[in-house]
Amino acid sequence: MLLIPAIDLKDGKCVRLQQGDMQASTTFGEDPAAMARRWLDAGARQLHLVDLNGAFAGKPFNESAIKAILREVGDEVPVQLGGGIRDLDTIERLLDDGLSFVIIGTAAVKNPGFLKEACIAFGGHIIVGLDARDGKVATDGWSKLTGHEVVDLAKKFEDYGVESIIYTDIGRDGMLTGINIEATVALARAVSIPVIASGGLSNMADIDNLCAVEAEGVAGVICGRSIYTGALDFAQAQARADSLAV
């Protein structure tokens, strides 16, 4: 089970939101590159970046902070980024800057043809982010709820050739209320590509519960507020997951 620390970027700083609300943000660091180093030193094997301003604006915003992180990380671990990625030129630029994966969320739902083109042009580098509440996919920084069922879209996007799916329960994100194991497993069973859980990770019990369903196709989990507040010790959690590996 891969534990992936999240570095959410807003106005060049490291923050965490509650349920995607930009007005409910807590700043956890002024130096994104130093934050990346912190998680690498704690044993992170992959990093998850979110350009929060970009997610709402529909275009990248925190590129200077992203580049600083990539310079710090070098080729030590893969880095993935989501938020405001809406065209092939942006994907190409970000991959050239050193990103391993780009995460397409809103654009995948609103413009599936773009996602398909991205998978063809940049095979092996495209992750789709499906953010949902009560099984329905949300877009535009979680501000708009669609009528699309998560599983239906996941199956379609799998056929396009996406590398994996990050599934976020937006009702739980940033709330430390526990991962929605049931919904995550249901999605993982419906597709053959890896599913990464996100939203609500709170304690070591969540790690145990995720490891118990790893064989179902749940390959990892995004770690957010819990590792920033100290509710979960990242290094201990990854060690625990390694000890429970299937």
Indicate which residues carry an active-site annotation.
Answer: 8, 131
Using CA atoms, how far residue 69 sits from 36, 47, 175, 183, 194, in Å, is 6, 10, 26, 32, 25
Tokens standing for 38? Answer: 């912190």
Which residues, 6+ apart, have CB-to-CB distance to 169 below 8 Å? 132, 133, 179, 180, 183, 184, 198, 199, 200
CA distance 5 to 124: 21
The residue written with tokens 């992959």 in the block is: 46
Give yes or no for a contact between 232 and 226, defined as CB atoms under 8 angstroms apart. Answer: yes
Backbone dihedral angles phi then psi of residue 31, each to the nearest 5 degrees = -125, 95
CA distance 132 to 112: 17
Number of helices followed by number of strands (H, E) in the chain: 11, 12
Give yes or no for a contact between 9 and 51, defined as CB atoms under 8 angstroms apart. Answer: yes
The residue written with tokens 């009560």 in the block is: 134
